[in-house]
Chain A
């Protein structure tokens, strides 16, 4: 898909001809109309991978594993891995407050430490059954106040972020079987200045 879109962009072909996805076709048709010159812009993440800039290699791998476990691909719908959520969160958390950055860093380090203590390997190397013990706080009843335990707090935030980043992804929007539950479309207000 990515390659097809890149070719389409390079050749400036009408979106409806090159892309089978209705959502993508609608998007590019609208963009084309906005541009007014018949040129079709393509967002960078349709043709390229985002670079890891914030997490360490070990943290990034742990987050990738966590995302895969928390939001797997199910029933033909893309999961967090398909939606390249880890790349996106690396970017989002890099842009976020120091508190949020620390929550993620400490949380991922904690998962790696606990995995090493229990299973003598990093979190990225454990299987779903082994991960269950580390993710037990996510099975606890919800309370408004954030959990006192830092790892539990991180897991709660990460689950929310990973799910949202998956549902709001291009991959989710373009998957015909996953339309329900996605963020959909809304009016975007341009800069008013």
Chain B
């Protein structure tokens, strides 16, 4: 693409949202320019096998480098966005853990790959329990896009016909369950709680960088500019339409401007919101497209309770747990507040469970030789669960620009304000009690349990803040992720969610981006833009 030739569409971000947009648009003949804030990564070139003892900090990592990225290890520290270069603020009593990756492929370079569909329990949540708002779409509107996205990401799993977890277009997972997993499933079934196999994207990388972008580039219609830190969206003052973006080269800090007929924002929930809040043309002094005052509000995520219960399968002690007894994993979809209403909380939570790990030494009340012997005895005999709970979208949970603090490139940062409420705390207590009871019924030895949610943000499932909706007074985007007030601007990442359920959101981001991008291509083809 020549420098003077404007692209049809400017895509900001290259992860699940931006990558899917590029894949869909270029296949439909649309010429795209993609900006990403980080470098281009080549796993073959950029990583090598090492032992922990070869690292400068023996695998502990450089102290203080990532105060909020608990997922970072010394092995992968260079993947995560540097917190000093990319600061943000929050009130001292409201810690928020904003976890970012800035590189081509975005967070799909390092995601957990869990790939679940939302259901109408989420899309029509208000209809179900009266809280909050419905999405402007139903499950039926998105189902065919889920159908197409799952094979692209080689999602495997098992269809069980659960209304709260719609069946998918999956590579069937017919692997047998180990005896410990079967015992747990039986205990859950006796309690009226259905289980299923994990649903996971497959392949060596399972990233936008290898599954989406190469095909888009192969069309000859995608130009990728890495290291392009977008400062704001530009607007044509005559038409009020988005005209492109101003960005800074990450390395040289040189400023650039780029123009396009339409802009697709997919820089991640909070980065997209930040870009819009920092874009303040005369018509929109509170942020682009934000006459409603909704931009930045209704921020939510999913709370996690890591290791809500840690157990030992008694028969597997002392190395007795072979592959027939130990190993494998599963998932419990939301089972609360489907038919029967809970008294203490709305919505529900899900569990991941897995067999065959080794319980953490920190939960064993031992030291010295007894500790080392016990660790040997329980090696491979562990059974553990993690809770993922729905967080209610509330208007008061929000982000705004903190102009007093700027990032490495002089761009004002976000101030984030999100708190969990009684609803989440009650749900967490219930999740702990149920997990312990199921494990006891399965005959497992419960070593430890707790109901401590990780701080908001740490699940890396931040959602909302630029949500969809029928009403422009209470939402930013219409049913096709198009900005109500700027109709050639789309926001296709997790910021567009109205509710999130307890399902990992990436598959829904992919499906939404595919749907919105194909709709955009249709409008461009019909010269509606």
Q: Chain A interface (Cβ within 8 Å of chain B)? A: 23, 27, 30, 34, 43, 69-72, 74, 77, 88, 92, 95-97, 100, 128, 135, 138-145, 156, 159-161, 163-165, 168-170, 172-173, 180-193
Contact A189 B46 (CB under 8 A): yes
A168 to B51 Cα, complex, angstroms: 8
B292 CB within 8 Å of chain A: no
Residue of A142, A173, A193 most packed against chain B (CB within 10 A): A142
- Complex interface bits, B103-122 against A, C-beta within 8 A gives 1, otherwise 0: 10000000000000000000
B75 touches A189 (CB 8 A): yes
A156 touches B362 (CB 8 A): yes
A interface: dominant SS = mixed
CB contacts (< 8 Å) of A156 on chain B: these are: 362
B362 near A142 with CB under 8 A, answer yes
Provide the bound-state CA to CA distance between A159 and B372, in Å: 12
Taking a contact as CB atoms under 8 Å apart, the answer to whether B368 and A186 are in contact is no
Contact indicator A30/B450 (Cβ below 8 Å): no
Interface bits B437-459 vs A (CB < 8 Å: 1, else 0): 00000000001101010000000
**Chain B contact patch, size range:** 35 or more
Known: A188-B75, A193-B39. A95 touches B62 (CB 8 A): yes
Residues of A contacting B55 with CB < 8 Å? 188
Known contacts A69-B368, A72-B372, A173-B52; 9 further A-B pairs (Cβ under 8 A): A74-B372, A97-B63, A168-B59, A181-B376, A185-B52, A186-B50, A189-B79, A190-B46, A190-B48
User: Whole-angstrom distance between the alpha carbons of A173 and B77 in the complex?
Assistant: 22
Give the Cβ gap from B446 to chain A, nearest Cβ, in Å.
11
Closest chain A residue, CB of each to CB of B451:
A144
Binary interface encoding of chain B residues 46-67 relative to chain A, with 1 for a CB under 8 A from any of its CBs, else 0: 1111111111011110111000
Which residues of the other chain, A, contact B59 by a CB distance below 8 angstroms? Answer: 164, 168, 183
Known: A72-B369, A135-B367. A168 touches B48 (CB 8 A): no
B364 at the A/B interface (Cβ < 8 Å)? yes
B477 neighbours in A (Cβ, 8 Å): none
A182–B58 Cα distance when bound, in Å, is 12
| Contact across chains for A165 and B51 when beta carbons are under 8 A apart | no
Instruction: Check if B152 is an interface residue, CB within 8 A of chain A.
Output: no
Chain A residues within an 8 Å CB radius of B41: 192
With A71-B372, A168-B58, A183-B59 as contacts: A188 and B50 at CB distance below 8 Å: yes
In this complex, what residue of B is CB-closest to A188? Answer: B50
Give the docked Cα–Cα distance between A43 and B53 (Å). Answer: 10
